Amino acid sequence: MNTIEEMLNFKNLYGLSHVDIAQSLDIKASQVKKIEQGLIEMPEWFSLAMDGMESKLSKKRKELSESASGDFTFIDLFAGIGGIRIAFEKAGGTCLFSSEYDPYPAKVYEDNFGEKPAGDITKIDEKEIPSHDILVGGFPCQPFSIAGVSKKGSMGKKHGFEDETQGTLFFDVARIIKYHKPKMFLLENVKNLKSHDKGNTFKVVMKTLTHLGYDVQEKIIDGGLLVPQHRERIYIVGTLDHDEPFKFPIIKAKNKTLEDILEPKGTVDPKYTLSDRLWAGLQRHAKKHKAKGNGFGFGLKKRNEIARTLSARYYKDGSEILIYQGSKKNPRRLTPKECSRLMGFPSKFKITVSDTRAYKCFGNSVVVPVVTRLAKQMAKHQVLKKKVVQSQIH
């Protein structure tokens, strides 16, 4: 490794910070930073040490792939804190690779799964990713540029998904699927993916996945069937085998209420109770919106009710899910532990970041029991039992 670019790619591929490198080489973090910024030339000993680190880490990844003992292997893209990973491990899978570029969810991920996710997926060559049976990920949705496509079309040039999705994170999902041809994939997204950019985004997504050789099925499922939270998400499942289209499982409602996930009454730290100022402000705001016919601005819930969708902005004022604490007390927000339960995470799941970061992490995550049902259904598919599917051959 001789150039800064090679060093940055290496760091990204293994999710390493300059502090990780400094610790491993027993040097100062500032020294690594200076080399990275080009302020000092990369010394030969450093370059050699980095080569050594790279070969050790790549050997470890290879060994993991070769020794995978589960029923199937999978990779975890846009991994967040690993809600999808928990589900697929429960269904018998072994995770071979993960990617998450935000250091806070990446820390929670590492603290729970003992593995540093790789960084920015847009900078990772698909050839560096181990081959796998199932690809999973909840990619952030971005509009595709129709203008770019029609311009190319009008110039008489062929345009595949590369042109239509270039510059979006879905493009990265598609290029990895195109190269590895996993037997199945599960993509998760907000329900609005269907109406995003007047339906164009969804059309391009479905067309692209179909063109890559997959039978593609999709369904909107409300997490409220299994946890006390109304959370509609779209799940897209692709199967390389067209003989048996994937059938979504029928999920029977468990009719949970907030009582099932809340701490016992009177045991929550008072810091989660809204201040008089914040509570008055929220009520004022709601009143203003109601007068305009916009509905309520906050979601005040009793323990026997079901919550609205927990969002990544919950840390701001907690307004979407406020817990009623009687007429003499202001309502309170959920604690991060309650958010974890609201998303159906197991009780042993460790929350190792601040409250603010934790709210963001859980608000971005998935309802684990729903994904577990999907993962178990996918794990039963005949395509996973086939050694190689014809359309997997390049």
Ligand X SMILES: C[S@@+](CC[C@H](N)C(=O)[O-])C[C@H]1O[C@@H](n2cnc3c(N)ncnc32)[C@H](O)[C@@H]1O
Residues at the interface with ligand X (CB under 6 A)? 78-84, 99-102, 105, 120-122, 138, 140, 169, 364-366
- How many contiguous H segments (helices) and E segments (strands) does the chain have? 15, 8
44, two tokens: 């030969």
226, two tokens: 């299994």
Distance, in Å, from the CA atom of 336 to the CA atom of 365, rounded to the nearest integer, reads 13
The verdict on whether 361 is a catalytic residue reads no
> Of 188 and 241, which CB lies nearer to ligand X in the complex structure?
188
Q: Considering only CA atoms, which of 75, 156, 70 is closest in space to residue 117?
A: 75
Q: Are 81 and 115 a contacting pair, CB within 8 Å?
A: no
Distance, in Å, from the CA atom of 154 to the CA atom of 135, rounded to the nearest integer, reads 35
**Strand 72-77 versus strand 93-98 pairing type:** parallel
Which one is catalytic: 95, 141, 339, 361? 141
Q: Are 212 and 242 a contacting pair, CB within 8 Å?
A: no
Chain center to CA of 279: 32
- 3-state DSSP: the chain helix, strand, coil percent, rounded to 5? 45, 10, 40
* Closest distance to ligand X from the beta carbon of 82 (Å): 6
Chain residue at closest Cβ approach to ligand X: 80
* Closest distance to ligand X from the beta carbon of 176 (Å): 12
* Closest distance to ligand X from the beta carbon of 319 (Å): 21
Distance, in Å, from the CA atom of 127 to the CA atom of 104, rounded to the nearest integer, reads 27
Residue with tokens 């930073």, as numbered in its chain = 33
> Of 239 and 364, which CB lies nearer to ligand X in the complex structure?
364
Identity at 364, one-letter amino acid code: N
* Closest distance to ligand X from the beta carbon of 151 (Å): 26
Distance, in Å, from the CA atom of 45 to the CA atom of 54, rounded to the nearest integer, reads 14
Q: Write the DSSP assignment of 39-102 as a string of letters.
A: SS---HHHHHHHHHHHHHHHHHHHHHHHH--SSEEEEEES-TTSHHHHHHHHTTEEEEEEB---
* Closest distance to ligand X from the beta carbon of 104 (Å): 9
Coil, strand or helix at 17: coil
Q: Write the DSSP assignment of 134-182 as a string of letters.
A: EEEE-PPP----HHHHHHHHHTT----HHHHHTTSHHHHHHHHHHHH--
* Closest distance to ligand X from the beta carbon of 199 (Å): 21
> Of 126 and 244, which CB lies nearer to ligand X in the complex structure?
126
Catalytic residues: 141
